[in-house]
């Protein structure tokens, strides 16, 4: 390839998957001890797409809060809501279908509380 001066082509005939029973130096060619960012499609293998920011603006508040809990809740009509608890104790929701990227406050005074869901 142009620009690959000094490079060597190494053929790889097998794209295997995650193998945890062997130590990394003992793995066969094409296998991996860690497949966190790999996607396998029929006849191909590649890197998983990167993470993208979904909310266009930070959560309001002083100091600027961080997200301590995030959960997708599917309503009975099938529409998902994103529930967010921030470090200032404010509970937010995002209507992913009707207003994606916009958060609405639905609760407050939850500072120090822990969110849990099933």
Cis peptide before 41 (omega within 30 of 0): no
pLDDT in tens, 2-21: 556 778 887 777 767 778 88
pLDDT band at 55 (very low <50, low <70, confident <90, very high): low
Residue 106 predicted with pLDDT over 80: yes
Burial 33-52 (b: 16+ CB within 10 A, else e): eebeeeeeeeeeeeeeeeee
pTM above 0.75, yes or no: no
pLDDT in tens, 16-32: 777 888 888 888 877 87
The separation between CA 9 and the C-alpha centre of its own chain, rounded to angstroms, equals: 33
Helices (H), 1-79: none
């Amino acid at each position: 390839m142009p620009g690959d001066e000094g490079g060597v082509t190494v053929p790889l005939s097998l794209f295997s998957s995650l193998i945890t029973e062997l130590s990394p130096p003992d793995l066969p060619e094409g296998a991996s001890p860690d497949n966190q960012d790999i996607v396998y499609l029929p006849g191909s293998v590649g890197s998983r797409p990167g993470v993208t920011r979904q909310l266009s603006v930070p959560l309001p508040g002083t100091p600027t809060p961080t997200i301590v809990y995030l959960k997708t809740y599917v309503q009975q009509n099938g529409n998902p809501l994103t529930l967010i608890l921030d470090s200032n104790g404010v509970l937010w929701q995002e209507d992913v279908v009707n207003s994606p990227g916009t958060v609405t406050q639905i609760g407050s005074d939850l500072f120090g509380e822990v969110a849990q869901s099933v």
